[in-house]
Amino acid sequence: MTLFQTVKEAVSTRQAAGRYGVQVGKGGMACCPFHPDKTPSMKVDSRFHCFGCGADGDVIAFTAKLFGLRPVEAARKLAADFAVPFSEKERGQPRRFSTKKRETPRVSPEERYRLAEARCFRTLCRYFHLLEDWEREFAPKNPDEPLHPRFLEAVQKKDAVSHQLEVLQCGSVAEKAPLVADCVKEVVHLERKFPELAGGDPAMDWGSH
C-alpha cells in the first residue's frame, strides 16, 4: 500500500484531532479549528466535515490544513506521530512490525510553534464567543442596575481579543510569533477556567489574572 493508504487505515481523523489539541465531544462534534466557531460545527470521525465553513476531507487533509503542510508532509507527520510502521522504500513489500519500543518523535521548533499558534487561536476564539454571550446576557436592564462583572469583562476585553484573533488569522509570521509567545500564560489560564463556567458562580470575575 502507499503511504497515504497506510496512514488512512491506521489513523482516524478523530484520533488525529485529539492528538493535535482539538477537543471532540459527544457525537463526534468539535469546534472547527479552521474558522471562528461559536458552537461545535465540525463532525469528526474517520473523516471530518465542518457544517460552518465547509472544510471537508480525510485525516491527511485535516492534518495538512491544521499545520499548513503539503499532503505528503502531513502523511509523513501522521506516520511519525502515531508510529505507523511504514517505509516508502518498502512500497509493495509486506510491512514488518517491530517489537522494539519506539522512541517518541522529537518535535521541531517549527512544529512546536504551529501547535502553539493553533492552540492560541482555538482558546481565544472560544473566549471571544463567551465575551459576546456575556455582553448580551449580563447587560444592565436599567441605568440604576449595578454592572455585572462578566459584562464589564466583556466590554473591557472583547476588542482586544478580537484584534488578537485577527492577527492570528491574517497576520504575518513576524506579527504572529510575538503574540503567540505573549499569549501562552493567558491561554493556559483560560483553559483551566473554562470548566468552571458550567457549575461555577456566574458572578465570579474569573477572567481577571
pLDDT tens-digit series, residues 98-125:
445 555 456 677 777 877 888 888 788 8
State how far the Cα of 47 lies from the Cα of 26, in Å rounded to an integer: 16
Whether 99 is in a domain gets the answer no
pLDDT at 193: 78
pLDDT at 169: 75
Residues 83 and 8 in one domain: yes
pLDDT at 112: 78
Return the bridge partners of 29, or none: 43
Q: How many other C-beta atoms can be found within 10 angstroms of the C-beta atom of residue 87? A: 11
Residues 154 and 187 in one domain: yes
Residues 193 and 116 in one domain: yes
Range of the structural domain that residue 57 is part of: 3-90
pLDDT at 103: 53
User: Are β-strands 42-44 and 29-30 bridged in parallel, bridged antiparallel, or unpaired?
Assistant: antiparallel
Whether 185 is in a domain gets the answer yes
> Using an 8 Å Cβ cutoff, are 138 and 151 in contact?
yes
Whether 208 is in a domain gets the answer no
Answer with the one of 40, 58, 90 that is the final residue of a domain: 90
pLDDT at 1: 62
pLDDT at 199: 41
Residues 86 and 122 in one domain: no
pLDDT at 73: 93
Whether 37 is in a domain gets the answer yes
State how far the Cα of 194 lies from the Cα of 6, in Å rounded to an integer: 37
Residues 116 and 180 in one domain: yes
pLDDT at 29: 92
Check residue 89 and report its DSSP letter.
G
> Using an 8 Å Cβ cutoff, are 190 and 127 in contact?
yes
Our count of domains for the chain comes to 2
> Using an 8 Å Cβ cutoff, are 18 and 24 in contact?
yes
> Using an 8 Å Cβ cutoff, are 1 and 68 in contact?
no
Residues in the chain with pLDDT < 70? 1, 86-107, 195-209
Whether 96 is in a domain gets the answer no
Cell readout for 208 is: 481577571
Answer with the one of 36, 55, 90 that is the final residue of a domain: 90
Which residues in 152-191 are b (16+ Cβ under 10 Å) and which e? Answer: ebbeebbeebeebbebbeeeeeeebeebbeebeebbeebe
State how far the Cα of 151 lies from the Cα of 147, in Å rounded to an integer: 7
pLDDT at 78: 92
pLDDT at 106: 61
Residues 186 and 138 in one domain: yes
Cell readout for 1 is: 500500500
Phi, psi of 156 (to 5 degrees): -75, -30
Q: What is the CATH number of the domain that holds 22?
A: 3.90.580.10
Residues 194 and 167 in one domain: yes
Whether 85 is in a domain gets the answer yes
State how far the Cα of 8 lies from the Cα of 71, in Å rounded to an integer: 12
Decide: pTM greater than 0.85. no
Residues 79 and 118 in one domain: no
Chain position carrying cell 497515504: 4
Residues 129 and 161 in one domain: yes
Answer with the one of 38, 61, 90 that is the final residue of a domain: 90
Whether 95 is in a domain gets the answer no
Whether 205 is in a domain gets the answer no
Residues 61 and 125 in one domain: no
